[in-house]
């Protein structure tokens, strides 16, 4: 079911390398970017019929980018830690000249005329973009079963979901169909699939990574971040994509930093809070057992752990499912059949064009959330729902801020369950929404958080989450890396 990765330098399968191991071989001249890319594409060809982690594979563009990276390296041009490394980008992140669907029929055939900020950073850093990752439509979901195209499957068990909404990027890294991938996280859409697929996944501090070119779901919640096989790759990826961008009004005007410098391997004396509210009702026994074992590991490494209470955690799910759908209903109003993407034109009036385009273009989950949001924003209900949710959001932020006056980071489970069976929650939206109960508070408060492999249960991965204060990204990377190096969980891979 699972085995350790091959040591660096072996050629049995280049795709088993981490990105930084592959980068070392590129630097030494033992392999080329073209070889890495061809190995990844062969892996994609072999596995995509089972996994469906990609919506679009840009084969020729990827090979061209690999040759360019090799040429730059031969001329002594240093481009960064991901130079020549094959990566995947979630299909709600704009890529010039490459279809970007957001997993929706309403954007089928849409080809952006520009790159997102993170794609600009990746290209200028020499990364090789292999293709676009599958997702729940408009990033609304926790299983990647709401994609308008094929649902993605979990590489550990193809009868189970990979999590969502960034299930394609998570599954792609786990299945060795790319070395690093990039997703978006609105309520847990990076961390929850990372946990279910046994990868590292990070949501940075809100504003640390520009949202320019990200197709909006909930604008005050969305944040782009990386998936990787280990924390070192995650730190390198965050170094590449972070930075100020004048085109995003929420972008933080902070200097760039090399996040790999935070990876000291030492957390002795670090103060870690363990919020009891995250051990939610319905948490699987195997997940709880793995979490408790992780706490013992952290204590053995010299960290100081203390159980704490964050009472407003219980309100976070309700707050999220008012704010996120409200912002979604406003953001998705632009899809009217006139500007871009799909349009239904064989009708008599402009109103019918708009009505039928949305009826045929949006899937059921997107329609559900638009209706919830429109209701919460409607006259007579705005104060009772949306305004009240924003007030509670302020209290949640304050509660976190006060907690971080005493602690360096918090540690929690990432998901209350391991990967669930495909189809098990499709007819129960509330059960699906509860998949993100441990991740949603972070987005509400705009905090950084990272999920790392933290054990196994029933032969499936369990995630461990570290939450940091505002701009505490380096701190949680340090804690996650130290934990990772003290355990074997990140070395395991699916048997697919």
Report the pLDDT value the prediction gives residue 90, as an integer from 0 to 100: 98
Q: How confident is the model at residue 254 (pLDDT cuts 50, 70, 90)?
A: confident
Kindly name the residue from 165, 166, 242, 415 that is annotated as catalytic. Answer: 165
Q: What is the DSSP letter of 465?
A: E
Report the pLDDT value the prediction gives residue 221, as an integer from 0 to 100: 98
Q: How confident is the model at residue 5 (pLDDT cuts 50, 70, 90)?
A: very low
Nearest to 313 by CA among 272, 274, 270: 274
Cα distance between residue 236 and residue 20, in whole Å: 8
Q: How confident is the model at residue 9 (pLDDT cuts 50, 70, 90)?
A: very low
- The whole-model pTM stands at 0.96
Backbone angles phi, psi at 314, to 5 degrees: -65, -20
Residue 486: is it exposed, middle or buried by C-beta count within 10 angstroms (0-12/13-18/19+)? Answer: middle
Render pLDDT for 130-181 as a digit per residue (tens, 0 to 9).
999 999 999 999 999 999 999 999 999 999 999 999 999 999 999 999 999 9
Instruction: Go through the domains of the chain in sequence order and give each one's CATH number.
Output: 2-273+405-494 (3.90.1300.10)
Render pLDDT for 326-375 as a digit per residue (tens, 0 to 9).
999 999 999 999 988 889 999 999 999 999 999 999 999 999 999 999 99
115: pLDDT strictly greater than 60: yes
Kindly name the residue from 33, 53, 83, 90 that is annotated as catalytic. Answer: 90
Report the pLDDT value the prediction gives residue 339, as an integer from 0 to 100: 86
Residue 165 is among the residues annotated as catalytic for this protein: yes
Cα distance between residue 352 and residue 345, in whole Å: 9
Provide the percentage of residues in the chain whose pLDDT is more than 70.
Answer: 98
Render pLDDT for 280-335 as a digit per residue (tens, 0 to 9).
988 999 999 999 999 999 999 999 999 999 999 999 999 999 999 999 999 999 99
Nearest to 58 by CA among 31, 16, 91, 35: 91
Nearest to 171 by CA among 446, 161, 406: 161
Residue 90 is among the residues annotated as catalytic for this protein: yes
């Amino acid at each position: 079911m699972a085995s350790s990765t091959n040591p660096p330098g072996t050629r049995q399968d280049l795709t088993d390398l981490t990105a930084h191991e592959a980068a070392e071989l590129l630097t030494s001249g033992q392999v080329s970017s073209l070889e890495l890319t061809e190995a990844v594409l062969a892996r994609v060809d072999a596995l995509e019929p089972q996994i469906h982690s990609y919506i679009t594979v840009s084969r020729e563009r990827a090979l061209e980018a690999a040759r360019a990276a090799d040429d730059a390296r031969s001329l002594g041009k240093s481009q960064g830690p991901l130079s020549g490394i094959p990566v995947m980008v979630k299909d709600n992140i704009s890529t010039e000249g490459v279809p970007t669907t957001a997993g929706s029929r309403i954007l089928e055939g849409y080809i952006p005329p520009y790159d997102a900020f993170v794609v600009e950073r990746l290209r200028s850093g020499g990364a090789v973009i292999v293709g676009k990752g599958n997702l729940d439509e408009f990033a609304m979901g926790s299983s990647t079963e709401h994609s308008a195209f094929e649902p993605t499957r979990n590489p550990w068990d193809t009868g189970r979901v990979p999590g969502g909404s960034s299930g394609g990027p998570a599954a792609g890294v786990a299945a060795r169909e790319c070395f690093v991938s990039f997703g978006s996280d609105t309520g847990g859409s990076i961390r929850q699939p990372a946990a279910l697929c046994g990868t590292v996944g990070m949501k940075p501090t809100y504003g640390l990574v520009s949202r320019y070119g990200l197709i909006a779901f909930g604008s005050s919640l969305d944040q782009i971040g990386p998936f990787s096989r280990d924390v070192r790759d995650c730190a390198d990826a965050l170094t590449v994509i972070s930075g100020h961008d004048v085109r995003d009004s929420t972008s933080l005007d902070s200097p760039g930093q090399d996040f790999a410098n935070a990876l000291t391997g030492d957390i002795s004396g670090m103060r870690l809070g363990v919020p009891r509210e995250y051990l939610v009702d319905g948490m699987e026994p195997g997940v709880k057992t793995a979490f408790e074992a992780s706490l013992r590991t952290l204590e053995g490494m010299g960290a100081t752990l203390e159980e704490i209470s964050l009472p407003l955690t219980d309100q976070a799910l309700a707050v999220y499912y008012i704010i996120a759908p409200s912002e979604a209903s406003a953001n998705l109003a632009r899809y009217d059949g006139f500007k871009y993407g799909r349009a239904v034109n064989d009708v008599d009036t402009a109103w019918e064009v708009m009505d039928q385009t949305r009826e045929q273009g949006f899937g059921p989950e997107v329609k559900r959330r638009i209706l919830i949001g429109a209701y919460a924003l409607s006259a007579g209900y705005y104060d009772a729902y949306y305004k009240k949710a924003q007030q509670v959001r302020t209290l949640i932020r304050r509660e976190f801020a006060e907690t971080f006056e005493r602690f360096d980071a918090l540690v929690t489970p990432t998901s209350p369950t391991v990967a669930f069976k495909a189809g098990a929650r499709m007819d129960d939206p509330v059960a699906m929404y509860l998949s993100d109960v441990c991740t949603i508070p972070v987005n509400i408060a705009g905090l950084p958080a990272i999920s790392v492999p933290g054990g196994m249960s029933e032969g499936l991965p369990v995630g461990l989450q570290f939450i940091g204060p505002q701009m505490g990204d380096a701190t949680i990377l340090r804690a996650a890396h130290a934990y990772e190096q003290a355990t074997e969980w990140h070395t395991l891979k699916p048997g697919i």
